[in-house]
Amino acid sequence: MGKYILKRLVDLLPTIFVVAIIVFVITRLIPGDPAAVMLGPQASVEDIQELRDDLGLNEPLHTQFFQYIGDLAQGDFGVSLTYNQPVISLIMDRFPNTLILAISALVIALLIGIPAGIISASKQNSVMDYTVMVISLIGVSIPIFWLGVMLVLYFSVNLGWFPATGMGTMDEGFITYIKHLVLPSITLATIPMATFARITRSSMLEVISQDYIKTARAKGLKEFFVIGKHAFKNALTPILTVLGMQVSALLGGAVLTETIFSWPGMGRLIVDAIDKRDFVVVQGTVLFIAIIFVLVNLLIDVLYKIVNPRVNYSSGKGGAGK
């Protein structure tokens, strides 16, 4: 297992290199000149050219690229054009905020979505089942920006229970901190929650009809253990796959949710950077998200093995085989 993880980590390098190339090319394709944006509409052509020289934008693309890769190899993500700060420190300022929001959304989504899916499957075609399915269908289809605004309207404006925007600090007290977290977490949790409920239900339904479930019942086990232990562990593989995708998406920063709630996370950092043509920050953040993404995938692959003993890593080039 340790050897496998090491091998996968080494395998990550080419992936990240390719991502770096793509990100570099794409950021150069964004229309608009960062120098012009930085200096504003009044700037003269000479000033703009001078700034471009300073930023190294007038160098040939390949020179810029090798410079970029060389810096990356030393762990240098570059310095933001607009913030005048190293990109990595910008990311490290924002990432914990994204992380805390992502984790609380994930906890909500898992704690509600998975039990809902299990109950739905074990009482297939009941009123309960239909209710869960209809709600989760609404959940996956609801526009996040609309839901966020509605929650703010009702719980902040009408009831005044939770603040409408911003992120609390621990200095203001734990309760305030949590209060700030509630609405954005619920908003962000909606889609993953509904997705978990649906995948859990379909995966459980497939497992419940298997022979070993009959064996478990024939042993005289309580239905709770038959479903919760024997069926659920077998149903976990597809749930893990979805979990991996959701975690990666959440950690990449929830652009819509962060914008609605003025949450100082990764999503807003990227959007602002694109707005200001700060391609150094765009490059850095996208690459950072790509690294998170592949690491989460690796983690999920390791979890597959723990959940399902039939997964064999010794053959083939990584990935979870059946």
The contact set with another protein (CB under 8 A) reads 210-212, 214-222, 230, 233-234, 307-310
Give which of 143, 88, 180, 162 is closest to 256, Cα–Cα.
143
Question: In this complex, which beta carbon is closest to another protein, that of residue 28 or of residue 214?
Answer: 214
Q: In the complex, what is the shortest distance from the CB of residue 115 to another protein, in angstroms, rounded to a whole number?
A: 20
Question: In this complex, which beta carbon is closest to another protein, that of residue 237 or of residue 285?
Answer: 237
Q: In the complex, what is the shortest distance from the CB of residue 216 to another protein, in angstroms, rounded to a whole number?
A: 7
Q: Count CB neighbours of 53 within 10 A.
A: 12
Task: Report DSSP state, residue 158.
Answer: I
Question: In this complex, which beta carbon is closest to another protein, that of residue 49 or of residue 215?
Answer: 215
Indicate the burial class of 206 (C-beta count within 10 angstroms; 0-12, 13-18, 19 or more): middle
What is the distance between the alpha carbons of residues 70 and 62, in angstroms, rounded to a whole number?
12
Q: In the complex, what is the shortest distance from the CB of residue 15 to another protein, in angstroms, rounded to a whole number?
A: 30
Q: In the complex, what is the shortest distance from the CB of residue 203 to another protein, in angstroms, rounded to a whole number?
A: 13
Q: In the complex, what is the shortest distance from the CB of residue 233 to another protein, in angstroms, rounded to a whole number?
A: 5
Q: In the complex, what is the shortest distance from the CB of residue 132 to another protein, in angstroms, rounded to a whole number?
A: 18
Question: In this complex, which beta carbon is closest to another protein, that of residue 62 or of residue 322?
Answer: 322
Q: Which tokens go with 94?
A: 């924002």
Question: In this complex, which beta carbon is closest to another protein, that of residue 176 or of residue 241?
Answer: 241
What is the distance between the alpha carbons of residues 233 and 231, in angstroms, rounded to a whole number?
6
Task: Report DSSP state, residue 86.
Answer: B
E strands in 222-282: none
Q: Which tokens go with 114?
A: 């998975």
Q: In the complex, what is the shortest distance from the CB of residue 228 to another protein, in angstroms, rounded to a whole number?
A: 13
Question: In this complex, which beta carbon is closest to another protein, that of residue 72 or of residue 231?
Answer: 231
**In the chain, how many H helices and how many E strands?**
14, 0
What is the distance between the alpha carbons of residues 218 and 269, in angstroms, rounded to a whole number?
57
Give which of 228, 190, 193 is closest to 207, Cα–Cα.
228
Question: In this complex, which beta carbon is closest to another protein, that of residue 80 or of residue 120?
Answer: 120
* Rg (the chain; Cα; Å): 24
Question: In this complex, which beta carbon is closest to another protein, that of residue 27 or of residue 234?
Answer: 234
Q: Which tokens go with 278?
A: 């700060």
Give the CB-side neighbour count of residue 84, counting CA atoms within 13 A.
Answer: 1
What is the distance between the alpha carbons of residues 191 and 189, in angstroms, rounded to a whole number?
6
Q: In the complex, what is the shortest distance from the CB of residue 122 to another protein, in angstroms, rounded to a whole number?
A: 10
